[in-house]
């Protein structure tokens, strides 16, 4: 999913740790998903989904996630990852991710689908109005 930078308003700087590399001398694939999770949590905080979960038991549950690896990453890289909503449905929304190096070269792109979930009732629910508005405000 090729989202414009303006569609990815939440960013996070990352410093690659030595231990994130694998036997092949580049960052292991699971680390990319951890980086996406980190910036996703900042997004969820900004839209009020974490507060909603804490106060009402209505939060998000991850339905799917993808990552397309464009170039290998090596220690000691300084990176930047961005995310933003590229689709909002009735009960779910899709985030796009872009990981770049200091020169702006795209290293990886990905997506995740979050479903609004009522943890007390154990089922998906429509995106609450305040969260929907907050997502629209960021995009």
Domain segments of the chain as ranges: 5-138
Which pLDDT band holds residue 23 (cuts at 50, 70, 90)? Answer: very high
The pLDDT of residue 48: 97
Lowest mean pLDDT among 4-8, 92-96, 128-132: 4-8
Which pLDDT band holds residue 7 (cuts at 50, 70, 90)? Answer: confident
The pLDDT of residue 5: 67
DSSP the chain: ----GGG--EEEEEE--GGGB-TTSSB-HHHHHHHHHHHHHHHHHHHTHHHHHHHHSEEEEEEEEEEEE-S---TT-EEEEEEEEEEE-SSEEEEEEEEEETT--EEEEEEEEEEEEETTTTEE-PPPHHHHHHHHHH-
The per-residue pLDDT for range 74-105, each reduced to its tens digit, is 999 999 999 999 999 999 999 999 999 999 99
Please state which architecture CATH assigns to domain 5-138.
Roll (3.10)
Q: How far apart are CA 26 and CA 20, in angstroms?
A: 8
């Amino acid at each position: 999913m090729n989202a414009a930078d303006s569609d990815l308003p939440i960013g996070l700087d990352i410093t690659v740790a030595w231990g994130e590399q694998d036997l092949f001398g580049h960052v292991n694939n699971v680390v990319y998903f951890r980086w996406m999770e980190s910036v996703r949590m900042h997004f969820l905080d900004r839209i009020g989904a974490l507060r909603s979960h804490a106060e009402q038991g209505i939060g998000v549950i991850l339905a799917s996630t993808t990552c397309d690896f464009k170039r290998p990453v090596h220690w000691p890289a300084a990176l930047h990852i961005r995310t933003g909503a590229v689709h909002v449905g009735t009960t779910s929304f899709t985030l796009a991710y872009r990981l770049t190096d200091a020169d702006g070269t795209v290293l990886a792109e990905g997506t995740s689908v979050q479903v609004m979930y009522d943890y007390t009732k154990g089922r998906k629910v429509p995106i609450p109005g305040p969260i929907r508005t907050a997502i629209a405000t960021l995009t």
